[in-house]
Structure 1
Amino acid sequence: MLRIAFIGDIVGRPGRRALQIWLEERKGEFDLVIANGENAAGGFGLTEKTVRALLSFGVNVITGGNHTFDKKDVFQFIDDFPILRPANYPPGTPGKGYMTLEVKGVKVLVVNLMGRVFMECLDNPFRVFDSILEEEKADLVIVDFHGEASSEKQAFGFYVDGRATAVFGTHTHVQTADLRLLPKGTLYMTDAGMTGAVNTVIGMESQEGIERFIKQLPVRFKVPEKAPLIQVCGVTFEVDEELEVRNYERVYQVYERRGDGSYTRRESSL
């Protein structure tokens, strides 16, 4: 039996802190932790320091998306750590789009793909997935599909149903309520949600987001460093000896900041 956690987009320091607390509470509970980290450094991209922090918390694989390369020094370390960028970037793009790990004797293929609707025009993620499956043989296949359009994510889920073990959408930072097994057994969720500051616009200070929509001008988004509420979003699930998904649950946990700057678990959602 394998127990796996998939964590939605980590946004800045609040997201890193929330994930650290959540994983400390569950130390030793998971055999594999996958987390989308493309917003982990100040809300945009990754630094080596943030990568090392996430790995020290217990994350095994860091997936990415359209912000993977926002911090230019990422090119210096992306190949040195278990970091994925979307596999449908053009050939020759630094980094890797998938990797296979052996977990308790089980070969687990983790794939990162990016949608094309309202996103950068990359290669077709459906066809790229097919190509990866032809190359890589694994017992389990877990996909982070980083996309804007719910319809594209859903179409992909049904396209790989029965071939992928699990497909989790990322990018919109808003957790959807459709965690379920598809007809052929693939665990699916349109968006795993955002790990970061609560009462924000997708993890950023709400006022900047409001200003952008009112004035139609470029605005520099900021992550609230001392957020009163932070959250962890994602999915946990088990895979049994027959390689079938069991006991899957949505993760939505909120922590409240205390006067001394530490955080305590908030038992109710909000």
Structure 2
Amino acid sequence: MAEGKAGGVALVTGAGDPGGMGAAVARRFAKDGMAVGILDLNGGGAEAVAAEIRAAGGRAIGLAADVSDRAQVRAAVARLRTELGPVHVLVNNAAIEGWCAFEALTDEQWDAQMAVNLKGAFIATQEALPDMQAAGWGRIINISALGGQTGGVMDMTHYNASKGGMIAMTRSLAVGLGRQGITVNSVSPGFIDTPMARRAIEEDLFPMPWTDILAMYPIPRLGKAEDIAAACAFFASEEAGYITAQLLGVNGGATF
């Protein structure tokens, strides 16, 4: 049996950007006593986040992999097992954003979103799942998105569709894995202050001023990456052992 939050090994995908949600989750897990594999397409960024965690007294390694490439993910998970131990917690966070008028959306743009955001979560889950099954204990946490719940804006149809797919995958996996001691939940971020969101703000991609969007929320401010990390920490904990197939919106009340 895995030792749970205090002693297990976590894999966080898309965690190589120090200002992103994945890095915040990895830092929080390390603070909570887990060893962490930081996986990212940017191997240098992944190792930089891992080095930061080690400097703070935690255990972490950087792993370079394209989540849409099974061979790369398999090699990264194998290295994580060898260096830190079997994986008991998985956070599928890796994603790319996309803005494009639906009428101009190409097959290549659609396929790229699905390959990273949805297929990447599928691959990482398949590769990490045997460790959880062997332990009879596991936590799978999928980072979806507000747009995956509400449809968001039409110019992000391909992104929102990939995130809606993650929500459905979460529920399907939860139905089958609960009896094996493995919970599967989704954290759905709203408007979070990350490099991805800042790019959209700077490029004025929203259909209305971003400050007007926030003004409509019950909590009228940008969220923080640490807010997402806190939600993931709860789902990864022993205290959340009777919670599965759930979606937790961390969105300032933007949707209920």
**Greater share of strand residues, 1 or 2?**
1
TM-score in terms of structure 2 length: 0.44
Question: TM-score, normalised on structure 1?
Answer: 0.42
